[in-house]
Every structure is written in C-alpha cells, then in structure tokens.
Structure 1
C-alpha cells in the first residue's frame, strides 16, 4: 500500500481519530497520502465553538490533509448531495482506500455517512468500516498493528479537548483498552479493527523458478532431457 492515497470519512470531529487514527499514522509513516473528510462541525455536541480548531490540530497530529463536508450535525442524510460531496473528495484525492463508519450504528449521522460513502466509493476495491462508540454490530476481520502508533492516536484525540472533558467516549483509558482487546483478537500487541465491504490485496507476482521450467513467450517449454549414459 506504500504511496497510496487514503481517505477517511467521519460524520463529526473526533470520529475518525477514534475509529482509525492510529492506522492513518501508520499509513503516513509508510509514505501514503492521507486525507480526512469530516462531514459536519459537531455543532450539536459539547464545545461546539471549538471543534473546528480542535479538528485542524488533530489532523496535523496525524499528518493528514483536512476537508469539511459542510453539513449540519444531526441532520446528515444519505442523499445525492451528501454522496456528491464524498464523490468529489474521492475524485480529488484519487483515493485507493477508504475508511468510514460501520453501517449499523445508533447515531443517524454515522449511518447516513456510511451509506453515502458506500455509494460514493462504489467503484473502489478497498473500503473498510471502523467502529464507533455508538456502533451496534461489528464483526471485524481486518486488523492493523498499531502498537507503534497508539500514543500518536491518543495525542490526536487529546487535541479534541472539549470532547475529552465532557464525553466518556473519548476517555484515553477506554481507547487503549479497546486497542488491546482488538490486539488480542489479532494475536498482536495493539490493533485497530475493521470490517471490510471490499479489501483487495495488491500482491507482487511471484516469478517462476528457472530451474523448474523455461518460458518462450507465453508457451511453457520443458527443460531438455539429458542423454542417457553409455552402456544403459
């Protein structure tokens, strides 16, 4: 995945950091270009006047570019307007991989953002869903080793000071415990977990061994037999 374009979509400030912040740090460390698309400014929650500035600081902490969807908190719907906003950022970034909320969630903005992103990313071969504190059903089968990036994730979440202060969902101990839980499931130290809609692995082809066979164009040519020894 090195050198790829990665897009993470979230309904509110801090959603992306909670769901896949450490994985975005890992992508940036691998040389990938990372973009965050935040659909609303979180105006209906605590610290409404601070959340844009907090999100900008968090994006810098993750080494990510930041885009805003410009929609209203608690009023996101999966319509052509929302799909078009996401499609425009997918096209702008030429995204190879998209992260977004899990579809089954008790927050209507999360559900709508997930549905609109699936439509906007319908031609992409890599779409992964992350867990939110309000996710209702989540059965991940893809894990990212974030052992080296957990502290960076916590730093990015710390940029959302209004949420850390007023929301138990952003409590650092809970975030670390979740990462340890998924790490145990993945047989590693700490992990972020994802449920794929699609996840195509781009593997390098394995060359044929010349000792086994020789190729001429597209035709397989058997190796010549050695002449029989005299006297046999």
Structure 2
C-alpha cells in the first residue's frame, strides 16, 4: 500500500475510463486510493440517467475506484462557482497528490468546462494531468504512462460496463482503444501507453541528487 491519493474528474460517465482508465488501474494495483468524479448526469447520451449512473458505479468498481457524481446538467455546464465549488469540496475532502481531467482544447463544451473548473479548483495543488478524449483538438502530450496488457484489458472491461455506450451504440469503439494504446506507446518508445498533457507536475530529487521519477506505482529514483 502507498499513501498516494489520486483523483480523476470527467464530464460524463465513461470519459474517465476512456481517458485514463488503465492508469487509474495501475494506481490501484500499486495501492493508491483512487477517486473518480463524474460532473454531469449523462442524460444527453444513449440510455436513461439511472442506467448510466449504475454503469458508472460498476465501471469504477472494476477499476478499484470510489465514485462521486455531481449530477450537473449534461450539455449545460458552466465553469463558474456552481461547478468549481463542488470540485473544491471534494479536493478538500481527499487532498489528492495527483489530479487527472480533460485536456483543455476540446470541441465538447462539457469537456472544456470541466478542465477549466478543475484547474481553477485545484489552483493550489501540485500535479494536474490532462487526458485525451475523442473530441480533443490539437492534443500534444508531454507525459506517457506505460501499460502492461493486463492494464489495457482492465480498461476495456471497465468500458464494457458502460453497455449503453459500447454494446448498444457506436459511441465507444474498443478497437480504437487498442489502436490508441499502441500508437501512444510507439510515441513514448514503449509497447503501450496512455498520454497526458501537463498543466502542472511536481518532481523531486533524491538526496543523491538524482531526479525522482513519477509512475503510477509511486516515485522512484531515476538516472
């Protein structure tokens, strides 16, 4: 077990799983406390709200995460106090060391607004990493999390829990999830990876003077 707490904030049910599901599972495997926060009720997507909420809880359980749902109106978010303050309250409750959310440049207004609200709410936190969505624009990651096959398998299992989005619609393409993991792996000079833009990231130094490198398994002494 570690004392690491990780919090991921997504606009809709399944956004977090798509963007960083494998990374969150790696955090869980390493003993971190993982919290997922879904901002909206997802009412504009396929499936009834109650069904989508049930799917979200099932997916979070698969990833070893706790789930909080803010219940804001799908498609009508606004990154003002009504959105920032509930996120601030959750940050004050958990004090995460690492925060994940959407990339800021996105063609979906809920994704943009979620990123903006999280960055505002987390203005006093050290590490904010931004994941890719299918609607991301000009996504240019600087940080990659290497994945093992079991991490990608767990991510896809969590996505399948969102049956209204995967089995009953074409909203989520699991073959594209595979392709993306291998593409970003090649960009990171490894086999598979999840990519992140960096809003802010804090690295430390070992007493020897070597940099301490971050991974979902914790911090380790680098070269």
TM-score, with structure 2 as normaliser: 0.89
Who is 2:20 aligned against? Answer: 20
Q: Equivalents in 2 of 1:186, 1:47: separation in Å? A: 36
Work out the CA distance in 2 between the residues paired with 1:161 and 1:202.
42
Task: Give yes or no for the alignment of 1:67 onto 2:53.
Answer: no
Is 1:100 the counterpart of 2:97? The answer is: no
How far apart, CA to CA, are the structure 2 residues paired with 1:205 and 1:91? 31
Distance 2:209 2:174 in 1: 47
1:79 to partner: Cα distance: 0.4
Q: 1:133 matched to which residue of 2? A: 134
Match of 1:158 among 160, 174, 180: 160
Q: Is the 8 A contact 1:41 1:48 kept in 2?
A: no
Question: For each residue in 1:204-228, what CA deviation from the matched residue of structure 2 results, as whole angstroms up to 9, or x when unmatched?
Answer: 32179xxxxxxxxxxxxxxxxxxxx
Q: Cα RMSD over matched residues? A: 1.6
Structure 1: runs of 5+ lacking an equivalent: 209-232
CA distance in 2, matches of 1:17, 1:207: 37
- How big is each residue's C-alpha offset from its partner over 1:178-203, in whole Å with a ceiling of 9 and x where there is no partner? 00000000111110000001111234
Following superposition, the deviation at residue 81 of structure 1 comes to: 1.4
Alignment check: 8 A CA contact 2:160 2:167 kept: no
Where does the alignment leave 5 or more consecutive residues of structure 2 unmatched?
A: 211-223
Name the CA distance, whole Å, in 1 between partners of 2:53 and 2:93.
22
Give the equivalent residue in structure 2 for 1:195: 197
Aligned mates of 1:203, 1:144 — CA distance in 2: 20
Alignment of 1:1-232 (within 5 A): 2-49=2-49, 50-147=51-148, 148-206=150-208
Conservation of the 8 A alpha-carbon contact between 2:74 and 2:110: yes
